[in-house]
Amino acid sequence: MKYPDFNQTVPIDHVGVEERVSRLNKRSIKKDSKIQALKMALSMIDLTTLEGKDSPGKVIQLCQKAKRPHPAVPDLPTVAAICVYPSMVSVAKNALKGTDINVASVATAFPSGQSPLSMRLEDTKFAVSEGADEIDMVISRGAFLNGEYQLVFDEIAAVKEACGEAHLKVILETGELHTYENVRKASDIAMHAGADFIKTSTGKTSPAATQPVTLVMLEAIRDFYYDTGKMIGMKPAGGIRTAKQAIQYLVIVKETLGADWLNKDYFRFGASSLTNDLLMQIVKQQTGHYQSLDYFSND
C-alpha cells in the first residue's frame, strides 16, 4: 500500500463543510422513514459505562438493557455493543452470551493515553484475552500536535497487531486537535495504520463529536475507500443526546458515503444518553403519545 506524505496537509474548505452540514440538516423525513431511522440509530449504539464506580452488577444491568432496550416494545433491535473497561469485559461477555451484541473495551490508558506503549499494548492484550470483540484506543495527541506523525502511526499499528482478531476503533479526540486539517490528517494516519473504525472522542473532553468534524472524517473515509477499496467505520461519540441529532447524522452518512455504511458494522453512536430519547420517539411514533423519560430504565 502506498502511504501518503503525512507531513502534507489536505486543505479543508471550512465554510463549505459547515454550509453542507447546515443544508443536510434541513432535509425533511417522512413518518415511515423516521421510524426506520430511529430503530436503525438504536441498533448502532455502543451502550457504555466508563465510571470509577462500575461494578459487575451495573454492567449486567446495562447488558439487560442492551438485549431488551424497552420490554414494553418487543420488536426493537438490540444495540450494537456494550463498551466497558477491560476489568469488566468478562462480566459483559458472560451476560451477553447467546446474542450478537459485541463487547467493546477502552484500552491504551483511556482517556489520556499517557502511559508507556508497552503498558498500552498489555492493556489491549488483556481486554482481548477477556473476550473483547472491539478495542477503542486513543491516539497520542501530544505526539500528533508535536508533528510526530510516524510515531502516532507506529503506535496505532502496534495496537492493531495486539488486537489480533478484535476490531480496532481509533479515537482521535478531535476536540484537542483544534483544526479540521488536523482532524483530516489524524484520520488518514489512523486508517493507513490499520484502524477498522475512526472515532471522534472519548466523551471525557469538550467539545466532543460535532457534525462538521464528523463530515471531515467521513470524507476522509470516502477518499480512503476510493484509494484502497477498504471500507472503514465511523463512530461519533459524546454530546449526541437527541433522536433528531441522530437522524441528522444518518443523513450526513448517507449523503457522504452511501447506504452501504448505514449499519452497525460501519457506523456507531457512542452516546448512551441518546438511547432513551430514541425509545421515547419510537413510542411516540407508534402510539401518538409521549411517555415521560421516567418510563424508561436508566441503565
Q: Are strands 233-235 and 46-48 parallel, antiparallel or unpaired?
A: unpaired
From 41, 85, 65, select the one nearest 202 (Cα to Cα).
85
Catalytic residue set: 136, 199, 235
| CA–CA separation, 20 and 146 (whole Å) | 31
